[in-house]
Amino acid sequence: MKWLRRGVGLLVVLLLIGAAAWWYLARDQRAPSTPVQREADAAALVDPARIERGKYLATVGDCAACHTARGGQPYAGGRSLATPFGDVPAPNITPDADTGIGQWSFDDFWAALHLGKGRHGQLLYPVFSYTSFTRVTRDDALSIFAYLKSLPPVNQPAQPTGLEFPYNVRSSLVAWRALYFKPGVYQPDPAQSPQWNRGAYLVQGLGHCNECHAPRDSLGGIEQNQHLTGGQIPQLDWYAPDLSTRSGGGLEGWSAQDVIDLLKTGQSSKGSAFGPMADVVRLSTQHMTDADLQAVATYLQALPPRAPAAPVAFPQAASHEQGGKLYAKHCADCHGDNGQGVAGIYPPLDGNTSVTGPTSINAIRSVLLGGFAPATAANPRPYSMPPFAQQLSDEDVAAVVSYVRQSWSNKASAVAPVEVSRSRHTPVD
């Protein structure tokens, strides 16, 4: 938490800068719609085709993942989202008049999604991914709103936020927004194909992939120039990889089909989804149309190559031999003697970017937690991996993870036992 304390100092400075910018930014930026527009909106809200489209878009936006408590009513809120600054509960967005968005106009909803502002103009915390959702078109937002309005209302009051001073003062977000939030609907790039543009719109907007797949600084913000370059997700402690499939990218060597397979089935010939990505696949991307998945893959395939990492020859772990024995005993049955896996069943570990990633946290936690790839329509009965947290010591986990990171074609750094002991908690939301 050292970085947090440093961050607080920085924040005070930023608050001052922010105050200066206040008069400009705190002005209500929403342009209220005209009476004619409002009437058109009202008619749109009851159009069944639009409601159906809204349902699809809300699934792509994965709104239910945050706005549903575990075991709770869909969209009725109650789930608390952990941030380094405290917990922020996701509110009820069913059309309940008292506790949900029953009394909201479309203008109110648009202000939330596009500008990150609540119904009374209050600034919303960016754990609500409006930094991405701002790219969504007005028409798509209207469809989502129509869908939400069509849901059965659930009476469930909002919970208080668990943020401490100064973060509990919403106006402290003025400075944060000045730094990290640029409202604006996605503008198609005429130099690119319609498919690429559709992919860009989905990835940058509703898919909010960048909210996880980019590094966050000490203020929890993503620098404007960081687009899908990979980062550790604060609090969750999983690493979401760089998504470039070109040389030096986190998904180097992934074909468009691999990307589509992963998002649609939870598995691919290059690796399978686990941790938060398994949630994303199960709740959201598996339901995307083939055309949209193809568009997303096209866009990811076109991300720029990354600067090659400085060629480092990582010294082989002293535990390599022990790691090999552990691998033969505990892992080879499923992942193969040479880390080749079993197609469609067990992911390969050779050449797997989750294994060789710039940090070893995903590989360590996969070994500790085991588990199933997500059950999807295309893979309804996934196979599983035993958790090794109970069976293997920190030294053994470090040895076997180092072994897989340094065997076959894999060339990554070794892992120390202390990194394993740091990752020994089981996430349960």
Give the x-and-dash track for 203-242 against another protein (CB under 8 A): ----------------------------------------
Q: Which is nearer to ligand HEC, 36 or 180 (CB)?
A: 180
- CA-to-CA distance for 190 and 178, rounded, in angstroms? 29
User: Would you say 120 is a known binding-site residue?
Assistant: no
Q: What is the DSSP string of 317-374?
A: PTTHHHHHHHHHHHTHHHH-TTS--BTTTB---TT-HHHHSSSSHHHHHHHHH-EEPP
Is the Cβ of residue 14 or residue 244 nearer to ligand HEC in the bound state? 244
DSSP assignments along 132-163, one per residue? HHTTS-HHHHHHHHHHHHHSPP---PPPPPEE
- Which range binds another protein by CB under 8 A, 17-25, 136-144, 276-284, 308-316? 276-284
Among 92-100, 235-243, 251-259, 333-341, the segment contacting another protein (CB under 8 A):
333-341
User: Which among ligand HEC, another protein, none contacts residue 138 (Cβ within 5 to 8 A by kind)?
Assistant: none
**Could you tell me the CA-to-CA distances from 157 to 72, 79, 99, 123 in Å, in that order?**
13, 12, 5, 19
Question: Using CB under 8 A, which residues numbered 367 to 396 contact another protein?
Answer: 369-375, 380-387, 389-391
Bridge partners, 342 (sequence order): 346
Q: Are 131 and 200 in contact (CB under 8 A)?
A: no
**Does residue 227 have a known ligand-binding role?**
no
209 among the known binding-site residues? yes
Q: Any bridge partners for residue 89, and if so which?
A: 80
**Is residue 139 part of the contact set for another protein (CB under 8 A)?**
no
Is the CB of 422 or the CB of 425 nearer to another protein? Answer: 425
Query: In the complex, what is the shortest distance from the CB of residue 318 to ligand HEC, in angstroms, rounded to a whole number?
Result: 18
Cβ-proximal residues to 76 (8 Å cutoff; 6+ apart), any chain: 67, 68, 69, 92, 94, 100, 154, 156
- Report the nearest approach of ligand HEC to the CB of residue 155 (Å): 14
To the question of whether residue 287 is assigned a binding role by annotation, the answer is no
Binding at 98: pick from another protein, ligand HEC, none (beta carbon under 5-8 Å per type)? none
Cis bond upstream, residue 417 (ω within 30)? no
Q: Which residues bind another protein (CB under 8 A)?
A: 70-71, 266, 278-279, 282, 332-337, 340-342, 345-346, 369-375, 380-387, 389-391, 425-429
